Amino acid sequence: MKLWSKGLGTKTVTMSLKEARVENTGTEMLVKGKMGAPVYWDYTITMSEQDLIDILDIAARKDTVGFMLDCKSRRKVYSSAVTKATRIAFGTVTGFFARMGRRRKAPVVAPKAEETPPSEENKA
């Protein structure tokens, strides 16, 4: 992947997301790695839930699919897209159900003293 910004001037920095590490902070996803030549920098990409949704939206766009259809190694791209989409779907569904089973049950709260029904002895 190539990265360019005005601050770099005419330079383009390369980075490989394949070698990146992913960390889950609970509120954000951190993608960390190293950029390549000409500048060897460590990078951290901080993503929110909405950022992840936006990336998935970009992946599903007509222009992105058109790019995949035009790739020279389209079989590799198709295979990768289908495999990864299946892994995401399966992982999401199984993770959802696994977390449902680990949820804490609501604590049982004893009724307050005023709310306790009168016993048979006190009814008379």
Range(s) of the domain holding residue 13: 1-48
Within-domain flag for 113: no
Asked if 29 and 47 count as a contact pair (C-beta separation under 8 A), the reply is yes
Cβ-based neighbour number of residue 35 at 10 Å: 16
Within-domain flag for 40: yes
Weakest mean pLDDT among 1-15, 23-37, 74-88: 1-15
Q: What is the mean pLDDT of the segment spanning 80-89?
A: 90
Q: Are 34 and 5 in the same domain?
A: yes
On the question of pLDDT at 120 being above 70, the answer is no
Q: Which pLDDT belongs to residue 21?
A: 93
On the question of pLDDT at 52 being above 80, the answer is yes
Categorize the per-residue pLDDT at 118 as very low, low, confident or very high, splitting at 50, 70 and 90. Answer: low
Within-domain flag for 118: no
Q: Are 41 and 71 in the same domain?
A: no
Within-domain flag for 67: yes
Q: Are 1 and 42 in the same domain?
A: yes
Asked if 15 and 1 count as a contact pair (C-beta separation under 8 A), the reply is yes
Q: Are 44 and 75 in the same domain?
A: no
Q: Which pLDDT belongs to residue 122?
A: 54
Q: Are 36 and 4 in the same domain?
A: yes
Residues of the chain with pLDDT > 70, as a percent, come to 81
Q: What is the mean pLDDT of the segment spanning 97-121?
A: 60
Q: What is the mean pLDDT of the segment spanning 4-31?
A: 85
What average pLDDT is seen over the chain?
81
Indicate the number of domains in the chain: 2
Within-domain flag for 54: no
Within-domain flag for 42: yes
> How far apart are the C-alpha atoms of 109 and 70, rounded to whole Å?
62
Within-domain flag for 106: no
Within-domain flag for 124: no
